[in-house]
């Protein structure tokens, strides 16, 4: 009997040993998750969305598009709270999620940690009313519409999103589930958004943004490539992976990147880098040490503090003297005549970082065609005291591969992919079976 027991113990120990080994050796077939990025031009400014999968209804996932916002502290979208969908079903064409109560720590956390994010003028929130039959109060939180800047209110929830896995080369059929705390807002909150975009995807460094809910084996690295066209999507990856864009199926995009440190900013979960100088054809403006530069997925054009803006416009008009000018069209200060229908070609604008790294802004990212006859330098004057002094906007980010490495606090950038004979719209989205 004792022998039998010993044998059982040995066998159990043997089995559990093997189970441990199997867990330790499990290497998932994917290195990242991959999400299509769409461009929208039907709102007040060009905006970009990620397409993710939400509820599983009638044996298939509902797809939803959320605005990309690298500053937002948490995700919010068009949904309603239901504490018990069995008793009281979810209405058709509505997304239902489970509420966070006012007594849970997430509620206090989101309200207190992010209160400084509220622009002055947003009214304070109170505890919400209880849901029928539930007995707890809901947790309203303040949200700021990234399109209009206006204040709103949303209710904190337990959410569920599904995305596809990848090896950086193809989309795998294997799926990855994330379970973030997000917040529900009524459909009317999204009136200023592009059509069919029904939420805000927070990609900031906040502990309640999407990256905080994606776990091992995924490393905290966001790679973002905003498309310049509506016809085929750009791409977002999360995870430490190699990345490939057609037609160069053997060039890891990481080999094309330059890196600079991400700088912490006390009042923001967004991403900042230091720019030392701006160079335009052999002449540069020294920015006196590091000038804090914010990256934005919402601002359409790069905004410069007035002194920097004036220098850039003066210098740029000198080096483009041979191109006939046109009366400026707001919000731009320097425009060119393109009546002869030739696409104009201008010198690069180089943003120099520490360690000699430079971000080259070439014609595709510096000149915006406004009408058939007029094209303008797509930089705007942010005012004499604008802080940060430089905000890099989306027109300058399109078709540039960007990598936010939150593990190492570094930012990788490619400059224009068009010069490398590819673009953000060249990821191969063909579904492939992962073993
Ligand atoms: C909300 O309710 C919780 C729990 O009852 C309480 O601790 C908190 O102070 C309330 N907050 C507000 C803003 O009323
Ligand atoms: C993700 O995978 C699912 C199931 O394999 C597929 O139906 C869906 O189209 C994929 N999404 C994208 C964006 O490729
Ligand atoms: C929005 O979605 C509807 C229904 O799926 C579709 O018919 C419409 O074309 C979409 N609109 C845009 C601008 O994408
Ligand atoms: C990501 O992978 C590269 C190459 O495999 C490696 O050098 C780097 O240290 C990794 N980064 C992180 C944060 O693990
Ligand atoms: C510039 O920024 C880097 C980090 O990006 C920091 O290490 C360095 O001390 C800064 N230099 C100045 C002059 O502020
Ligand atoms: C310019 O080119 C476009 C097509 O590229 C054409 O539709 C347009 O008529 C041309 N305009 C002039 C003034 O030649
Ligand atoms: C990034 O950080 C990881 C640890 O988080 C380290 O192993 C790796 O060497 C770092 N990579 C680079 C390129 O600094
Ligand atoms: C895209 O990926 C699929 C699946 O791996 C492959 O069959 C196809 O050849 C790829 N397309 C191109 C243009 O390389």
- In whole angstroms, what is the distance from residue 52 CA to residue 34 CA? 10
| Contact of 66 with 182, CB cutoff 8 Å | no
Judge whether residue 340 has pLDDT over 50: yes
Per residue in 59-68, pLDDT (tens digit) is 899 999 999 9
Q: Do 59 and 94 belong together in one domain?
A: yes
Return the minimum-mean-pLDDT range out of 183-187, 285-289, 344-348, 378-382.
285-289
Nearest CA to ligand 1 atom 2: 102
In a domain, 376, yes or no: yes
- Last residue in a domain, options 201, 218, 240: 240
Query: What is the CA(134)–ligand 1 centre distance, in A?
Result: 17
Q: What is the mean pLDDT of residues 87-99?
A: 90
Residue 105 lies in a domain: yes
Mean pLDDT across the stretch 218-245? 97
User: What is the mean pLDDT of the segment spanning 82-108?
Assistant: 91
For residue 345, is it within any domain? yes
Please state, in angstroms and rounded to a whole number, the distance separating the CA atoms of residues 426 and 24: 36
In a shared domain, residues 77 and 224: yes
Which of 167, 239, 240, 410, when mutated, tests ligand 4's pocket best, judged by the most ligand atoms within 8 Å of its CB?
240
Claim to verify: residue 188 and residue 296 sit in the same structural domain: no
Name the band, by pLDDT with cuts 50, 70 and 90, for residue 92: confident
**Does residue 4 carry a pLDDT above 50?**
no
Pairing of strands 76-78, 181-185: parallel
Kindly state whether residues 51 and 176 are assigned to the same domain: yes
Residue with CA closest to ligand 7 atom 6 = 408
**Number of folded domains that form the chain:** 2
Mean pLDDT of 397-422: 97
Helical segments of 262-333, H only: 306-319
0.85 cut: is pTM over it? yes
Whether residue 187 sits in one domain with residue 68: yes
pLDDT for residue 17 is more than 80: no
**Residue ending a domain, choose from 219, 240, 261:** 240
Distance, in Å, from the CA atom of 242 to the CA atom of 31, rounded to the nearest integer, reads 8
- How confident is residue 435, by pLDDT bands cut at 50, 70 and 90? low
Inside any domain, residue 152: yes
| Residue of 295, 303, 302, 298 lying closest to 272 (CA atoms) | 295
Residue 131 has pLDDT above 90, yes or no: no
| Arithmetic mean of pLDDT, 214-237 | 96
pLDDT of 267 > 70? The answer is: yes
Q: Mean pLDDT in the chain?
A: 90
pLDDT in tens, 290-337: 689 999 999 999 999 999 999 999 999 999 999 999 999 999 999 999
According to DSSP, the residues that pair with 13 across neighbouring strands are none
- Mean pLDDT for 208-235 is 95
What confidence tier does 119 reach under pLDDT thresholds 50, 70, 90?
A: low
Q: Ligand 6 centre and the CA of 342: distance in Å?
A: 9
Q: Are residues 282 and 416 in the same domain?
A: yes
Tokens 């490495």 correspond to 405
Give the CATH number of the domain where residue 191 resides: 2.40.70.10
Distance CA(66)–CA(187), nearest Å, equals 13
Same domain, 312 and 224: no
Average pLDDT over residues 221-225: 98
pLDDT at 20 over 60: no
Same domain, 111 and 232: yes
Q: Which residues line ligand 4 (CB under 6 A)?
A: 219, 240, 407-408
Residue 328 lies in a domain: yes
How much is the average pLDDT of 26-34? Answer: 87
Distance 408 CA to ligand 7 centre (A): 6
Ligand approaching nearest to the C-alpha of 141: 1
Confidence at residue 26, expressed as pLDDT on a 0 to 100 scale: 65
> Is the pLDDT score of 13 beyond 50?
no
* pLDDT for position 25: 56
Res. 125 pLDDT band, cuts 50 70 90: confident
**CA-194 nearest atom, ligand 3:** 13
The verdict on residue 118 lying in a domain is yes
Instruction: Give the mean model confidence (pLDDT) for residues 113-119.
Output: 59
Domain shared by 278 and 218, yes or no: no
Same domain, 180 and 312: no
Range of the domain at 398: 253-420
On whether residue 407 sits in a domain, the answer given is: yes
Longest dimension (CA), the chain: 99
Beta bridge partner(s), residue 66:
50
Residues 220-231, mean pLDDT to the nearest whole number: 97
Strand pairing report for 349-352 and 358-361: antiparallel
On whether both 38 and 107 belong to a single domain, the answer is yes
pLDDT in tens, 352-368: 998 889 999 999 999 99
Sign of CA dihedral 107, 113, 118, 122: positive
| pLDDT for the residue 3 | 43
What pLDDT, on a 0 to 100 scale, did the predictor assign at position 22? Answer: 46
Domain boundary among 211, 240, 269: 240
How many Å apart are CA 95 and CA 355, to the nearest integer?
Answer: 49
In a domain, 175, yes or no: yes
For residues 126 and 223, membership in a common domain is answered with: yes
What mean pLDDT do residues 23-45 have? Answer: 88
CA of 216 to the centre of ligand 6 (A): 52
Q: Quick: pLDDT tens for 273-303.
A: 999 999 999 998 988 766 899 999 999 999 9
Q: Give the Cα separation of 379 and 355 in Å (integer).
A: 25
Nearest CA to ligand 3 atom 7: 196
């Amino acid at each position: 009997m004792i022998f039998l027991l010993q044998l059982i113990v040995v066998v159990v120990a043997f089995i559990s040993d093997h189970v441990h080994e199997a867990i330790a050796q499990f290497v998932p077939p994917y290195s990242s998750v991959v999400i299509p990025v769409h461009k929208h031009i039907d709102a007040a400014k060009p905006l970009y969305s990620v397409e993710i999968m939400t509820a599983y209804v009638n044996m298939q996932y509902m797809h939803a598009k959320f605005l990309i916002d690298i500053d937002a502290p948490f995700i919010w979208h068009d949904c309603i709270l239901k504490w018990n969908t069995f008793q009281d079903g979810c209405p058709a064409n509505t997304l239902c999620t489970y509420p966070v109560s006012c007594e849970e720590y997430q509620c206090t956390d989101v309200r207190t940690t992010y209160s400084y994010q509220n622009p002055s003028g947003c009214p304070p929130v109170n505890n919400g009313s209880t849901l029928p039959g539930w007995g707890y109060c809901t947790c309203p939180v303040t949200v700021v519409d990234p399109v209009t800047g206006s204040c709103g209110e949303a209710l904190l929830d337990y959410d569920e999103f599904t995305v596809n896995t990848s090896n950086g080369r193809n989309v795998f059929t294997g799926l990855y589930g994330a379970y973030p705390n997000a917040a529900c807002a009524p459909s009317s909150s999204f009136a200023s958004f592009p059509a069919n975009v029904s939420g805000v995807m927070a990609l900031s460094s906040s502990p309640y943004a999407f990256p905080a809910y994606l776990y091992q084996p995924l490393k905290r690295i966001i790679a973002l490539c905003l498309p310049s066209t509506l016809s085929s999507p750009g791409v977002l990856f999360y995870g430490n992976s190699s990345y490939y864009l057609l037609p160069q199926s053997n060039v890891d995009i990481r080999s094309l990147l330059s890196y600079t440190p991400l700088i912490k900013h006390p009042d923001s979960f967004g991403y900042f880098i230091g720019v030392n100088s701006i160079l335009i054809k052999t002449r540069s403006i020294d920015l006196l040490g590091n000038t804090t530069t914010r990256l934005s997925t919402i601002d359409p054009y790069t905004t410069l503090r007035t002194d920097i803006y004036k220098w850039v416009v003066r210098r740029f008009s000198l080096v483009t003297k041979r191109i006939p000018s046109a009366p400026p069209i707001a919000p731009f200060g320097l425009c060119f005549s393109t009546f002869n229908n030739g696409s104009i070609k201008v010198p690069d604008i180089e943003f120099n970082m520490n360690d000699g790294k430079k971000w080259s802004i070439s014609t595709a990212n510096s000149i915006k065609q406004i009408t058939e006859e007029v094209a303008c330098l797509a930089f705007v004057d942010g005012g004499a005291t604008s802080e940060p002094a430089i905000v890099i906007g989306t027109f300058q980010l399109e078709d540039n591969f960007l990598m936010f490495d939150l593990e190492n606090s570094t930012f990788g950038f490619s400059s224009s992919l068009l010069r490398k004979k590819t673009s953000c719209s060249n990821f191969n989205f063909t579904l492939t079976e992962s073993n």
